[in-house]
Amino acid sequence: MAMSGGVDSSVAAALLADAGHDVVGVTLKLWGGAGDRGCCSVADVEDARRVADHLGIDHHVFNFAEDFQAKVVAPYVAAHAAGRTPNPCIECNRHLKFDRLVRRADALGFDAVATGHHARIGHDGDGTPRVARGVDGAKDQSYVLYMLDGATLGRLLLPVGELTKAQVRQLAADRGLRTADKAESQDVCFVPSTSGRATFLGQRIPLRTGRVVDRTGTEVGHVDAVELVTIGQRKGLGLAGGGVPRYVLDVDASTATVTVGGAEDLLTDGLELDDLVWSSRPHHGPVSVQCSAHGAPRPATLGGTRLTWDQPQRRVAPGQAVVLYHDDLVLGGGLAASAHR
């Protein structure tokens, strides 16, 4: 049982123990640098250990910090340097929780791996297992699990996927778990809240001043660090006040240039996908698409790696995950491609 120190994985562990499973709690030590929030803090490891003790199950800490640096932190920094907007939580799931941890579980002889994600395991018409949306739509985490294939899903347990967050907290309170009222972390766990993203990146890459231009190429402002700018951003662009609001349409890190335009200029007919993966077989044709963790699904058609919207939609920042669904089942997904590949 992957125990992050949060309420969801605490309750998941309790439910599995109640069901008669021989449960061992495991917390991953992922980050060796300064970290004060999310599953990278010392407090969260201690919370997981104490919940495991409360439940009467063994608890271990696996040190995957080297893999985390190579597979999550370094690509996060490189993406910003290239003008992309990464999602490190997805890469952590891809490379650590559902690769490195699963391989460690295999080596130790465990039958299954469980997590506290708000998602379910569903099946399509021919019985193929797929990630499915969790019961609580407001907390659904199927988006961040789009990379899981049938082999992984065949041995994965998601005990809280059938519960709402309120039910999870009530179960934790009923069991007297210390995490019952613990707040959720919404930020990148390895970026300290006291210093922030600019400081974190500035210690690892040079942050360059960037020109802000309109669609005609006329310079209209500047940004202190082009590496911190993302598509759709409105503030911090050094633009004159008043007038029609302008938004970031494009970030060209190679020339340190940010292009801005009006809200209507953010609309596009489609996008290209990089690193497209499928939970089983490839799918082409109509799909339902989600472009952020809690974004509203939008209808589109997929042809090859090109996604065409049924109705124009706001641009998706390069590097963001684009997840493809059929009803509540995840078909697969990829990353929004950059115009400057």
Strand residue runs (E) in the chain: 24-29, 58-63, 113-114, 119-123, 129-133, 156-157, 210-213, 219-223, 247-252, 257-261, 267-278, 285-290, 298-303, 306-314, 321-326, 329-336
φ/ψ of 143, rounded to 5, equals: -55, -40
pLDDT tens, N- to C-terminus, the chain (341 residues):
999 999 999 999 999 999 999 999 999 999 876 555 556 677 889 999 999 999 999 999 999 999 999 999 999 999 999 999 999 999 999 999 999 999 999 999 999 999 999 999 999 888 889 999 999 999 999 999 999 999 999 999 999 999 999 999 999 999 999 999 998 876 788 888 788 899 999 999 999 999 999 999 999 999 999 999 999 999 989 888 778 899 999 999 999 999 999 999 999 999 999 999 999 889 999 999 999 999 999 999 999 999 999 999 999 999 999 999 999 999 999 999 976 43
Q: Is residue 206 packed enough to be buried (19+ CB in 10 Å), middle (13-18) or exposed (0-12)? A: exposed
How far is it, in rounded angstroms, from Cα 211 to Cα 127?
Answer: 53
How far is it, in rounded angstroms, from Cα 156 to Cα 131?
Answer: 10
Catalytic residue among 39, 89, 189, 291, which? 189
Give catalytic status of residue 39 as yes or no: no
Catalytic residue among 39, 40, 89, 92, which? 92
Give catalytic status of residue 189 as yes or no: yes
- The answer to whether the beta carbons of residues 326 and 280 sit under 8 Å apart is no
Tokens of 99: 């690769």
